[in-house]
Each structure stands twice: as structure tokens, then as C-alpha cells.
Amino acid sequence: MKIPIIIPAYEPDERFIELLSALVVEDNYIVVIDDGSGEKYRPLFDQVNEIIDGKGVLLRHEVNKGKGRALKTAFRYVLNSIPDAIGAVTADSDGQHTKDCIMAVCAGLEKHPNSLILGVRHFDEEDIPWKSRFGNTLTLKVMKIVSGLSISDTQTGLRGIPRKFMEELLNVEGERYEYETRMLLETVNKYSIVEVPIKTIYDSKENHQTHFHPFRDSFKIYKVLFERFFRFVFSSFSSFIIDIVLFYLLCIILKPWNSSFYAAAATVIARIASATCNYSFNYIFVFRSKEKKLISAGKYLALAVVQMGCSALLVTLAIHVFPYINESILKMIVDTALFFVSYQIQKRFVFGGIRHA
């Protein structure tokens, strides 16, 4: 099966030449993207052209646009120029991926043509830089919390991407390293993830060159990771405002008709309206659910009832255990905890489970 190998390159060194020289002996098409490396690196890319001549193509960005943009350029080329490709494998140019590791991911994509294949490294080895070990551990824990994805290596650039997924990824936001994080999040409820163990390679500090900016790029990555949760917060706050405003208006309307039960009626009607809005916001914008609406609505209703009961029970218990703390403060603490629990339940069960191989 046709599986081109995509390698974005920005100011690469001789290790890139060594990798290409090893790859051309295999029967794969190689797509190299010079992401605006500049005139200084023109001789190296002339050498690249000679190596992949007849077995690949060199695409160029006149200025550096970022890894995400380079990948999109390559995806578009593959989709338009290689119609028999079942997908593509992306690899890095900095020497962290060997020919054997790349071919192992190619084999994984051939075996699972409808899954995202990740070439995952082991971060428990002694020679792994502590910053890399800490960064990956933190990111995978955050990713599991906010999206439900449980994977071993969130930062790997060695990936096998199905053709259909490449088409979808052309419309995904992200120009730099955060694009690869968005790629992982885009698999939720769409594609399973298959992990292929690969060799962990880290050169010494003197030899290893990286264009990853710790603060700028990390900020963008974590911004992507928390986007869904922030949308959930906004959805909940908006529903709260709708509930309060409707309650106020309904009280004005209903009070002249029934002075005894107008507040109760206003509460019920406002809560139904705000809950309907909250469900719609969460279904469409927060979780972008693929679950059937009738099923997810039933789950949402059941969760709302259970959450209300838990709130009443836990607040009552808290009042007896902490009688010296104001009831409103206890309710705020309980409801805040239930808010985070509700987010996890809605993400995992109400709006569709997460498929992960």
C-alpha cells in the first residue's frame, strides 16, 4: 500500500541527510518541506533534492510558517498528488526517529488504515532529559483529564495518519507545535489510536537542536488542551445567566396571576429553559458530540437529577459536620466539586464515549 513519509524541516543538520539516505532504500515516497530555512541552508536542501530524486518531492515555504503549517502543506500535496495513498506517516528531521521506527509506524498504518498510529517513546530511561520527561508526563495527565485520551507519548512527531483524517486536519486550526496537540484531540469520538513502541533517542545538549520555544509553544499547547473545559465553563455561566434573567422576568409576569406559587413556577420554567440551552451548548460547541440527541438528552436529564440530589444531600451533611461554616459557603464548595465531576461525566458518558485502541 502507498504510504508517503512526510518530514517537515527547519534549519536541519547532517542527521537529516543520514535519515533520508536510509529511507530512500525503502519503497516509499518522501515528502520534505523546507519550512523557510533560508539561503544558508540552500546547499543542504540541494543535497536533499539529489537524494530523493525520483522517490519524493521537496516543497518549500519562503519564510518559516511553523510545523503545523508545514504539515498542512504536505497533507494537501499528498491528497492532491498521490490518490492511491491510504494515508501518510509524519516524522521529524532532528535525528530522533530512525528508519526502522518510521517503517514500524508505516506497518502500523497499513495494518490499521482507519486509526491514528503513534510512535511512542519510553520516558522512564535514565538518559531522558528531565524537562522532556516532566513535560510529557504533565501533558499526558492534563490531556487525560480534559479530553479522556490516555496515551503514552503526547509529544511524538512520528505518526501514521489515515487519508480521511488528513482531509479533516486541513481545516483544523494551528500553525506550530500546538497543531499536533489539536490532532490528538480531533481523534476523540472519531478515530481510535494505536501505539507503536519506538526507540527513544536523545542526543547530548551540545548536539541536539530544537526549535521548540518552551514558554511560547507550551502556552499554545496548554491553551489548546483547556479550550474545551473553558467552553464548558462559559456554557455553564451562560446558562446560569439565562436562568436568573428568566426567573426575574417570569416573576414579574406570573406574580399578578398567582401570588402564592409564582416563584415556584418561575423557577421550574426558567430551569427547564436554561437546562435546554446548556444541553444544546454542550452538545454542539463544548463536546461536539456524535451521540444520538435523544440518547444524550436522556443521559443529561438523568445526570441533572442525580447532581441536584447529590447537592442537596452533601450540603445537608456538610451543615451537620461543619455547623460553624455558613450554609452558602458550604453549598458553593459542594457545587464547585460537583461541577468538575459533572464535566467528566458529560465528557465520558453523556455526549459519547471515547474510542481508544
Indicate the helix (H) or strand (E) that contains 265. helix 262-281
Q: Looking at residues 45-68, what average pLDDT do you find?
A: 91
Is beta strand 116-120 parallel, antiparallel or unpaired with respect to 159-162?
antiparallel
pLDDT for 72-99, tens place per residue?
A: 999 999 999 999 999 999 998 887 888 9
The pLDDT value given to residue 130: 61
Q: 112 versus 129: which is more confidently predicted?
A: 112
- Most distant pair of Cα atoms in the chain: their distance: 87
Tell me the H-state helices in 24-114: 42-52, 67-81, 99-111
Q: Which residue has the cell 540552500?
A: 42
Alpha carbon distance 134, 66 (integer Å):
24
**Hey, what's the cell of 92?**
521529524
Q: State the pLDDT at residue 152.
A: 82
- Nearest-10 crossing angle of helices 14-23, 99-111: 50
CA distance 35 to 69: 9
- In this prediction, residues 223-233 reach a mean pLDDT of 77
Q: How high is the pLDDT of residue 160?
A: 96
Mean pLDDT of 170-178: 84
For cell 526502522, name the residue: 100
Residue type, 70: A
Q: Residue 203: what residue type?
A: D
User: What's the rounded mean pLDDT across residues 284-296?
Assistant: 82
| Short-list 315, 297, 301, 294, CA closest to 271 | 301
All three cell numbers of 330, joined, read 458550604
d(CA 63, CA 39) in angstroms, rounded, equals 11
Mean pLDDT, rounded, of the chain: 83
Q: Are 191 and 161 in contact (CB under 8 A)?
A: no
pTM for this model (two decimals):
0.72
Q: Are 97 and 119 in contact (CB under 8 A)?
A: yes
Query: For 345-357, how does the pLDDT look when each residue is reduced to its tens digit (9 = 90+)?
Result: 887 788 864 333 3
Residue 302 has pLDDT above 90, yes or no: yes
Q: What are phi and psi of 116, to 5 degrees?
A: -85, 125
Residue 28 vs residue 104, higher pLDDT: 104
pLDDT at 123 over 70: no
| Total residues belonging to the chain | 357
**152 in helix, strand or coil?**
coil
Q: What is the pLDDT of residues 138-159, one digit of tens each?
A: 777 777 777 777 888 888 889 9
Q: For residue 334, how far is the Cα from the chain centroid?
A: 30
- Residue 209: band (very low, low, confident or very high) from pLDDT cuts 50, 70, 90: low
Give yes or no for residue 323 having a pLDDT over 90.
no
Is residue 146 within 8 Å of 346, Cβ to Cβ? Answer: no
Transcribe 283-335 into DSSP letters. IIIIS---S-HHHHHHHHHHHHHHHHHHHHHHHHHHHHH-TTS-HHHHHHHHH
CA distances from 328 to 247, 317, 339 (A): 20, 13, 16
Please say if the pLDDT value at position 212 is more than 70.
Answer: no
End-to-end CA distance of the chain: 22
Q: Are 162 and 116 in contact (CB under 8 A)?
A: yes
What is the DSSP secondary structure assignment for residue 82, as one 8-state letter? -
Cβ atoms 34, 41 nearer than 8 A: yes
301-306 LR contacts (CB < 8 Å, sep 24+): 303/342, 303/345, 303/346, 303/350, 304/275
Strand partners, 195: 118
Mean pLDDT of 197-218: 58
